[in-house]
Amino acid sequence: MKQYKAYFIDLDGTMYRGKDPIPGAAEFVKFVQGQSIPFIYLTNNSSAKPEQVAKKLNDMGIPATGDQVFTSSLATAKYVSSIKTQAKVYVIGEEGLYDALEKEGHEAVDHGADYVIIGIDRNISYEKLAKACLNVRNGAKLISTNKDAAIPTDRGMLPGNGALTSVVAVSTGAKPIFVGKPEAIAMEQALDKAGLEKKDVLMVGDNYETDILAGINAGLDTLMVETGVTSFKDIQYSVKQPTYKMKDLYEWLKR
Amino acid sequence: MKQYKAYFIDLDGTMYRGKDPIPGAAEFVKFVQGQSIPFIYLTNNSSAKPEQVAKKLNDMGIPATGDQVFTSSLATAKYVSSIKTQAKVYVIGEEGLYDALEKEGHEAVDHGADYVIIGIDRNISYEKLAKACLNVRNGAKLISTNKDAAIPTDRGMLPGNGALTSVVAVSTGAKPIFVGKPEAIAMEQALDKAGLEKKDVLMVGDNYETDILAGINAGLDTLMVETGVTSFKDIQYSVKQPTYKMKDLYEWLKR
């Protein structure tokens, strides 16, 4: 089997489900770490800061540092910087998104924004959506951290950021620019961050529509595990297949 | 000019804008009333009860009784009754929607709903949207009072119910049944209520996409006024044209 120089690893459904680590996840990361192969956690979750995500992983016994976590919020903040430095942004989102934008030097404003940036916000309100629409109608470009329609939780599938973003898209007619998986923007940034060529990287994830298509579209090899959203049956007729399909990450270690 | 036996009259942009009556509106309604021609106010706004809407009109000097107001909430509640009596409904909406559903004998529930009903809700929250999604994923049908993407306010165009509904539609993949203008459901119910044939009714409104298309699609003659959302220029290339186009309702009185 091909040797990879780096791994991009999804979190939700691959490393953990809600508050519980997925069996094999810690063992897999420790194995990769033991071989001194670099890895980056690549998550569409925009709500937390990298250090918070790393702590959550550590608390589950999974090795991680803040530097190894690349969220859709970081990718979005960097994407905005690539178009405009010190941009004025109207933000709907949680701590991770505000923090990433601030660290990139962008200024959160209520009116006169250059960009409206939307990430998951469990405190969404009509007023927040109204201000987003007014800014877009006033000329702000609409950018969204990720287009996940639903997110898996203990209670079932709840609205994801793609669903929240649709309020502003439908109301204004603006077409959002999505940053996170499966879009090219986040993948290119992650490859930049790793300083590696795509042929040398394996993308590991559970969600065919986000993780696996992100990898395939960016030209990476992909490993799909069946511990999260997508089952192998779901993709039996898909034209684009993952490079590897494994029930869980134990299977990768035993190969 | 053809004599009509009844008028269907839109409210927002036709009778008033925000808190202000539109010049000519009161005169128009008083003229119709003076000729003893019945009229029904047909509004996609689901937030208020008919009596509240009538009071708002009266306060502006425009004649109206609760019986003459037919909201998308009433149409939605009656539509649900036509499929199932005493249905269990999970509701996102304001007072007008809750009231209409209760008066039709439907029961608001948090879980195990037969229908998820969405109307404009200026107190929308993630939790409300989450429960709507869970009910839909659990088998509830998705019904929405109206699909207006945006509503005109003093502050500009803010998110309408069609935009809020998209959260649940996008997240679950369910296709909503829309009730209000321009859909056939509300128009058929209004014709039923009036006890008249469509050839005898004139639909009066400012919004081409809702009022005028509702009338045209239902086979009614239409009068479009330029006091609200749509300008005549907006529709200059539209294949389906209103029967009459007038700058305001004074023009109708002077004809």
Q: Where are the beta strands (DSSP E) in B110-253?
A: 115-118, 141-144, 150-153, 156-159, 177-178, 201-205, 221-225, 244-246
Q: How far apart are CA B18 and CA B7, in angstroms?
A: 22
What's the distance, CA A236 to chain centroid?
25
Chain B residues inside the 8 Å CB shell of A167: 159, 163-164, 166-167
What is the enclosing helix (H) or strand (E) of B97? helix B95-103
Of B157, B167, B172, the CB nearest to A167: B167
Q: Quick one: DSSP state of residue B148?
A: -
In this prediction, residue B18 has a pLDDT band, given cuts at 50, 70 and 90, of confident
Distance from CA of B131 to the nearest CA of A (A): 8
Residue B1 has pLDDT above 80, yes or no: no
The pLDDT, as a whole number, for residue A70 is 98
- Collapsing DSSP states into helix, strand and coil, what is residue A89? strand
Distance from CA of A117 to the nearest CA of B (A): 17
Chain A residues inside the 8 Å CB shell of B124: 124-126, 129
- Collapsing DSSP states into helix, strand and coil, what is residue A153? strand
Q: How far apart are CA A181 and CA A148, in angstroms?
A: 9
Contact assignment for A167 to B163 by CB distance below 8 Å:
yes
Tell me if B219 sits within 8 A of B197, measured CB to CB. Answer: no
Residue A221 among the catalytic residues: no
Contact assignment for B171 to A159 by CB distance below 8 Å:
yes
Between the alpha carbon of residue B109 and those of residues A220, B83, B132, B205, B229, the distances in Å are 47, 18, 11, 36, 36
Chain B residues inside the 8 Å CB shell of A122: 126
How many Å from the N-terminal Cα to the C-terminal Cα in chain B? 9
Nearest partner of A193 among A42, A59, A55, judged by Cα? A42
Residues in Cβ contact with A219 at an 8 Å cutoff, skipping those fewer than 6 apart: A198, A199
Tell me if B167 sits within 8 A of A163, measured CB to CB. Answer: yes
Distance from CA of A206 to the nearest CA of B (A): 19
Of A124, A125, A156, the CB nearest to B137: A156
Size of interface A-B (CB pairs under 8 A): 101
- Tens-place pLDDT, residues B123-171: 999 999 999 999 999 999 999 999 999 998 889 999 999 999 999 999 9
Contact assignment for B133 to A160 by CB distance below 8 Å:
no
Average pLDDT over residues B62-82: 98
**Helices marked H in chain A:** 25-34, 50-59, 72-83, 95-103, 126-137, 161-172, 184-194, 213-218, 249-254
- Tens-place pLDDT, residues B183-202: 989 999 999 988 989 999 99
CATH class, range B82-178: alpha beta
- Tens-place pLDDT, residues B43-68: 999 999 999 999 999 999 999 999 99
User: How many residues does this entry show for chain B?
Assistant: 255
The pLDDT, as a whole number, for residue A1 is 74
CA dihedral A195, A201, A207, A208 (to 10 degrees): 120
ipTM score here? 0.94
The pLDDT, as a whole number, for residue B154 is 86
Instruction: Going residue by residue through chain A, which has 255 residues, state the pLDDT in tens, using 9 for 90 and above.
Output: 789 999 999 999 999 998 899 999 999 999 999 999 999 999 999 999 999 999 999 999 999 999 999 999 999 999 999 999 999 999 999 999 999 999 999 999 999 999 999 999 999 999 999 999 999 999 999 999 999 999 988 899 999 999 999 999 999 999 999 999 999 899 999 999 889 899 999 999 999 999 999 999 999 999 999 999 999 999 999 999 999 999 999 999 998
Q: What b/e sequence results for A5-29 when a residue is b if at least 16 CB atoms lie within 10 Å of its CB, and e otherwise? A: ebbbbbbbbbbbbeeebbebbbebb
Q: What b/e sequence results for A142-170 when a residue is b if at least 16 CB atoms lie within 10 Å of its CB, and e otherwise? A: bbbbbbbbbbbeeeebbbbbbbbbbbbbb
Interface test with A, best of B164, B170, B172 (most A CBs within 10 A): B170
Catalytic hit among A12, A121, A148, A221: A12
Chain B residues within 8 angstroms (CB to CB) of chain A: 121-126, 129-130, 133-134, 137, 149-150, 155-160, 162-164, 166-173
Between the alpha carbon of residue B14 and those of residues B9, B23, B42, B118, B187, the distances in Å are 8, 9, 11, 25, 18
What are the residue boundaries of the structural domains of chain B, listed by start?
6-44+181-254, 82-178
Q: In the numeric block, which tokens belong to residue B213?
A: 């298309």
Distance from CA of A137 to the nearest CA of B (A): 8
Q: How far apart are CA A69 and CA B79, in angstroms?
A: 50
Of B126, B156, B160, the CB nearest to A137: B156
- Tens-place pLDDT, residues B80-115: 999 999 999 999 999 999 999 999 999 999 999 999
Distance from CA of A174 to the nearest CA of B (A): 12
Between the alpha carbon of residue B59 and those of residues A191, A254, B7, B231, the distances in Å are 64, 77, 21, 28
What is the enclosing helix (H) or strand (E) of A203? strand A201-205
Looking up tokens 């039709």 gives B104
Contact assignment for B158 to A121 by CB distance below 8 Å:
no
Q: Is B115 left (phi over 0), alpha (psi -120 to 50) or beta?
A: beta
CATH superfamily label, B6-44+181-254 = HAD superfamily/HAD-like (3.40.50.1000)
Q: How far apart are CA B146 and CA A168, in angstroms?
A: 17
Of A134, A167, A169, the CB nearest to B164: A167
Tell me if B214 sits within 8 A of B186, measured CB to CB. Answer: yes
Same fold flag, A6-44+181-254 and A83-178: yes
Fold of A83-178: Rossmann fold (3.40.50)
Chain B residues inside the 8 Å CB shell of A131: none
Contact assignment for A130 to B159 by CB distance below 8 Å:
yes
Between the alpha carbon of residue B51 and those of residues B25, B96, B102, the distances in Å are 19, 10, 16
